[in-house]
Amino acid sequence: MHKLGRDVFLILVPVVAAFALLPSVYSNQLLLFNFIIFIVLAQGVNVIYGFTGYLPFGYVGFFGAGAYGFSLMVLHLQAPPFLAIVVGASAALVLALMLTPLFRLSGAYFSIANLAAALAVLQIVANPNLEDYTRGPYGISLSGVFNPRLAYAAALAVLAATLFIVIFLRHSKFGLALQAIREDTISAGMAGINVVRERVIAWLLSALIAGLAGSVFAWYASVFYPETVFSGEFTIFAIVFALFGGTATVVGPILGVVILYGIYNAVGISTPQYFQLIYGALIVGLVLFLPNGLVSLVRRWGIDVP
Amino acid sequence: MFGKVRLGLSIALLLSIFGAAYAAEAPKEIKLGTLYASSGRFASISMPVHYGLKLWIEQKNAEGGVFIKAFNKKIPITLVAYDDQSNTATAATLFNQLITQDKVDLLVSDSGSVLTSVGVPIARDNKMFLFDQTGTGSAFFTPDNPYIALMSDPVSSVWPKPLADFITHDGKSLGIKRVAMLYSTNDFTGTQATAVRKFIKEAGTDVEFVYDQGIPTDTTNYAVLINNIRAANPDAVIHLGYAPNDIAFIHSLEDGGVNFKFLFCIYPGLETELLEKNLGVKPLNYIFTYVTSSEIEYEPNFGMKLKEYKELWNKKYAGGNVEFGFNSVAGYNTGLVIEKALSVAESLEQLEIRKAVFSLSGKLKTLDGTFELDANGAQLGMSTPIGQISVDDHGHIKFVTVWPHDVANGKPVYPRP
Amino acid sequence: MLTYTLLAGLLFGLYFTLIGLGLNLVFGVMRIVNLAHGDFLMLGAFLAFWLFSLFAINPIPTIPVAFIVFLLVGFPLYYLIVPRLLRAKDPEMLSFILFFGLSQVIQALATILWGTSERSIPGGQLGRAVAAILSFVTGRTVENGPVDIFGQSFPAAWVASGIASGIGVLLVYWYLYRTKLGYLTRAVMVSRDEAIASGIDVDRISAIAFGFGLGLAAVAGVFAPFLLGSITPAMGAEVTITSFAVIVIGSLGNPLGTLLGGLVYGISYMFMQSYYSSWANLLPYLLLIAVLLLRPSGLLGRQTRRA
């Protein structure tokens, strides 16, 4: 258990503090905000993929659910932002609960079905027939709660909570049980682990993380179209960043985001045409040569990575 | 009392000296920040706008800069432009970059409502006036946001009025009673559809909608839809979609051998070259569309005329991948508005710039049309007449303007042969 | 209106069968999720476009060209990528990501080379071939133009793609069930490990199947400019998802399943467009999920899947 405290001190505190202090030296706060969102999302993917082995190819569905949950509370009920965030996160949880039957499927089928589910949610939300409820394809425009500074603070809180969850998983019996399920479902069951229940809990945690991220994003951006918050790009980036850094660890996804998303912004600003090409090639190379992520390089030298 | 007056005068003198000293500190350059999309789904409407803007900047810099009334001299413009690749999240970060890192003096949006939408709250939060080039989403222009104005397109809720007017006025004598409308559900075309419906209903004539459906924007298959429209036996068909929708729709008509008596589409007017490349001229013949400023020789009271501008454009960009059309005019028009505003603005403060821009409303006429803003910055002018495509014997596309009557130069051909 | 919708659904569904055939083969044999399937289709479409615009070559002869070119591309590509992939800890998941990366690379190259604007081929091109075939078959001279079926007229291109799709299904079926190579392929589809144990050169079989898969995608791509309105480098993504729905609804491994899946998809899509047009794009996703949950082995399901 003391490892948990160590990691909180060595990882969670510095990271959150860094993002809290950076805006005072680097004024593009939006960029920092995006970094936070991606770290949170990558960790969310980490929770479900790294720990249970299910790849949520429709992960952005929870993000969008959170964003819309938040927005609808503000639009229709003029709710205060913090209440709206809670509702947004709950929307993501509800969606996750609805999708639990997907666990009957394995591997690729689960991922495809998850993707289809996220796309289905987008189609439903963006449908003009639901314009009175969700503003359909015309997008959300929130006025009255616009407060980037406070939203940034909320993002910091979500970051702290997410890192804590992952640290907890990394060092707890629960996390160990999840990894056992990932390696061999049948043996894990025989060892007395309640496979279904543990998996669902991990799934809900992962969805909660994305839902919180989505709510905070909606608060910060305040103007967006449905395609923006249901964009497959969020899923892809989150998965790639997590894989690149290394899943089932705490630092892996953080490393992945900082390095890859950092490159994305640097390159994206100077040579954008080749950007998609570089990124795609990077992904291919990653899978072929470093499938367990960066931290696996470190692990090979025998160092245990938190 | 004299003491007080002398004190007042001294203070005034001191202030004016300081003021003059401050005013004498003109910046070496005016930084203009903007975004463009070199790839992705908005590239085809973004690059021409960007090139148009660049052309204006180069022109001004060749003359020594743009005239700034606040400092009473010409100051060269430095362009700071980033590529958002049609990605809204990237665009948001880049807008922020322009404002907070590059500290631009003038902020100009990318083309189209989607890419502009992310800039609206950012500009507002940073109290930076946003020159909205072609983003027509009516939600942008609200009373609580003074930091935006639309430059070159009429706002979506007003844009299709000429079409509705044509149908309810001239349509009567042509025998148009039954109207079918098919539109893609997104902010741009969906809002226009709502506007068409509203204007036609308000006109109170016996024109009725026998078909009125919204479809997803990424629809590419129109066979069944066309068949259903045909079954409703319309006198006029209105299709409101983006360029890929128009291309697929018209293709489908051709391939299926279907001919509607009256067909209106947006993009044969807005992106004529692109549609011609994809469809050839024959399927476009007799289609009604918006006649944009790239086809009409307006009489500007400021800036170049269309003919000169087109020559300049072709000299610089001919043979390239970027097509000349309405969007290239829009970019240049943004430059003209900026130029005129800077020539009357008392300072470079953002709200002062806003005041200058709004003062041009109703008075400025460029090659794009008449500049007229409502109180919230939505463009009410720059309206596009309705015209019909006519293919001459050499296979070239011409536009016959049919509405409004004061700019019409021909009669509509109805029904479509 | 009902007849038209039904027939349109059949014809359009046949096209999606053609798209799904290649994906079915690849997934069935290697359990690899080819997320770049739509992008290979896009490449086939551009091949047809450039051959037509530069050399005025009619799309019909382009079909075998596209097939052979991509067969030859797929074979070495397999060896380059897959054996490494299969040695990793979680090949199915990693293949997702790898082929996604490949998809991005292909899209990026296409965009850099050809720009983002839409391209098209005039429908009359296919119409000529169809008219010729129909004239031959019916003995009367048929004009180049829309084709009459049960009194409803359809674009000639739809009929052409329907015919091509039918031929495709028959060819794949014949390959799998009547040739020795196909017999071995089916063995690999059922159980890769046992096939290795039986001494089958699994890699070679898989590489051939992979090549076939890409070739079929390219052939479907040749018809894309006619069936999908216009083509752009970014068109692949949407096509991939829908083709997944099609093969899942059918069942894996069996080309007849893909045929059924395509028809089900096509007909339901057309009906949605007629009656609930704004919800039409929701359909493939709902169908996919419904089938996966209710009847996981697909409509023609034979047990080759652990759930």
CA distance A56 to B387: 51
B197 is a domain residue:
yes
pLDDT value, residue B197: 93
pLDDT digits (tens, 9 = 90+) for B178-218: 999 999 988 888 889 999 999 999 988 889 999 998 888 88
d(CA C12, CA A296): 48
B190 in contact with chain A, both atoms CB, cutoff 8 A: yes
- Residue A184's pLDDT is 77
Radius of gyration of chain C (CA): 19
Residues of chain C in contact with residue A240, where contact means CB-CB under 8 angstroms, are: 97
Distance from CA of B54 to the nearest CA of A (A): 19
Q: Does A269 touch chain B (CB under 8 A)?
A: yes
Residues B379 and B371: their CA atoms lie apart, in Å, by 7
Higher pLDDT: B416 or B237? It is B237
Contact between B253 and B226 (Cβ < 8 Å) = yes
Q: Does residue A71 sit at the B interface (CB-CB below 8 Å)?
A: no
* Greater pLDDT, A192 or B78: B78
At A215 the pLDDT is 95
B409 in contact with C, Cβ within 8 Å: no
Mutate to test the interface with A, among B50, B88, B113 (most CBs of A within 10 A): B88
Q: Assign 3-state DSSP to chain A and report helix, strand, coil percentages, each to 5.
A: 80, 0, 20
Residues from chain B contacting residue A221 (CB–CB below 8 Å): 92, 118, 121
What residues pair up with B108 in beta bridges, in sequence order?
A: B34, B131
Q: Distance between CA B250 and CA B274 in Å, rounded?
A: 13
In this prediction, residue B217 carries a pLDDT of 84
Whether residues B321 and B225 fall in one domain: no
A17 pLDDT exceeds 80? Answer: yes
Instruction: Please give the backbone phi and psi of residue A13, each rounded to the nearest 5 degrees, phi first.
Output: -60, -50
Residues of chain C positioned with their CB less than 8 A from the CB of B227: 1, 4-5, 8, 152
CA–CA separation, A213 and C6 (whole Å): 44
Residue (of B28, B29, B48, B30) closest to B38 by Cα position: B48
How are beta strands B263-265 and B236-240 bridged, if at all? parallel
Rounded to whole angstroms, how far apart are CA atoms B265 and B239?
5
Checking if the pLDDT of B10 tops 70, the result is no
Burial label, A174 (beta-carbon count in 10 A; 0-12, 13-18, 19+)? middle
Position C42 scores a pLDDT of 95
Give the containing element (helix H, strand E) for C102. helix C91-114
- Which of A22, A24, A25, A28 would you mutate first to test chain B, the one with the most B CBs within 10 A? A28
Q: Which residue of C has its CA nearest to A244?
A: C97
- Residues A146 and B171: their CA atoms lie apart, in Å, by 47
A112 contact residues in C (CB cutoff 8 A): 33, 244, 248, 288, 292
User: Of A42, A72, A88, which is closest to residue A206 (Cα–Cα)?
Assistant: A42
DSSP element (H, E) containing B122? helix B119-125
User: Is B21's pLDDT higher than 50?
Assistant: no
CATH of the domain at B238: 3.40.50.2300
Both B271 and B396 in one domain: the answer is: yes
Residue B257 lies in a domain: yes
* Entry pTM: 0.83
Task: Indicate yes or no: CB of B125 within 8 angstroms of CB of A34.
Answer: no
How remote is the C-alpha of B19 from its chain's centroid? 39
Q: Is the pLDDT of residue B155 over 60?
A: yes
Measured over the CA atoms of residue A259, residue A265, residue A267 and residue A270, the dihedral's sign is: negative
Does B139 reside within a domain?
yes
Tell me: pLDDT of C307 over 50.
no
Contact: B218, C118; criterion CB under 8 Å: no
Helices (H), A78-194: 81-98, 107-125, 131-134, 148-171, 173-183, 185-190
The number of domains in chain B is: 2
pLDDT tens-digit map of A115-168: 889 999 999 998 888 888 888 888 887 876 777 788 899 999 999 999 999 988
Residue B185 and residue B409 in contact, taking contact as beta carbons nearer than 8 Å: no
H/E segment holding residue C189: helix C180-190
Angle, vertex CA B134, rays to CA B133 and CA B140, nearest 5: 90
C174-223 per-position pLDDT tens digit: 888 888 888 888 888 888 888 888 888 888 888 998 999 999 999 999 99
pLDDT tens-digit map of B273-326: 888 888 888 899 999 999 988 888 888 999 889 999 988 988 888 766 677 888
Is residue B287 located within the same domain as residue B311? no
**Any idea where the domains of chain C sit in the sequence?**
22-235
Do B147 and B284 lie in a common domain? no
| Chain C residues in contact with A283 (beta carbon < 8 A) | 97-98, 100-101, 104
Contact B397, B391 (CB under 8 A): yes
Residue C303: predicted pLDDT = 46
Chain center to CA of A214: 9
pLDDT confidence of residue C39: 94
Q: How confident is the model at residue A297 (pLDDT cuts 50, 70, 90)?
A: confident
**Rounded average pLDDT over B374-378:** 91
Higher pLDDT, B330 or B144: B330
pLDDT in tens, A175-200: 888 888 777 777 887 887 787 888 88
Pairing of strands B397-403, B386-391: antiparallel
Whole-number percent of chain B with pLDDT over 70: 94
Residue of B nearest to C109 (CA): B39
Whether B107 and B224 map to the same domain: the answer is no
Mark whether B138 and B39 lie in a shared domain.
Answer: yes
Confirm or reject contact between B279 and chain C (CB < 8 A). yes
**Does C230 contact B278 at a Cβ distance shorter than 8 Å?**
yes
Question: Is B263 part of any domain?
Answer: yes
B410 pLDDT higher than 90 = no
CA angle, residues B192, B193, B196, in degrees to nearest 5: 85
Residue B24 has pLDDT above 60, yes or no: no
- Concatenating the DSSP letter of every residue in A168-219 gives HHHHSHHHHHHHHHHH-HHHHHHTT--HHHHHHHHHHHHHHHHHHHHHHHHH
Residue spans of beta strands (DSSP E) within B22-63: 30-36
Q: How far apart are CA A50 and CA C93, in angstroms?
A: 12
Same domain, B284 and B190: yes
Q: Does B111 share its domain with B255? A: no
Give Cα separations from B86 to A108, B115, B276 (angstroms): 30, 7, 24
With an 8 Å Cβ cutoff, are C116 and B44 in contact?
yes
Distances (CA, A) of A258 to A36, A81, A266, C78: 10, 28, 12, 33
Q: What is the mean pLDDT of chain B?
A: 87
- Does residue B178 contact residue B208 with C-beta atoms inside 8 Å? yes
B311 and B269 co-located in one domain: no
Residue with tokens 């009175």: A132
Q: What is the pLDDT of residues B51-70, one digit of tens each?
A: 999 999 999 999 999 999 98
Contact check, Cβ <8 Å, C282/A288: no
**Segment A41-60 mean pLDDT:** 90
Contacting residues of B for A126, CB less than 8 Å apart:
185
Q: What is the pLDDT of residue B262?
A: 93
Token code pair at residue B104:
């631009």
- The alpha-carbon gap from A40 to the nearest alpha carbon of chain B, in Å, equals 16
Check residue C251 and give its pLDDT: 75
For B194, the domain range is 161-292+385-403
Contacting residues of A for C248, CB less than 8 Å apart: 109, 112
* Beta bridge mates, B150: B132
Assess whether pLDDT exceeds 60 at residue A2: yes
Q: Is the pLDDT of residue C89 over 60?
A: yes
Measure the CA–CA gap between B2 and B9, rounded to whole angstroms.
10
Tokens representing C300 are 């023609």
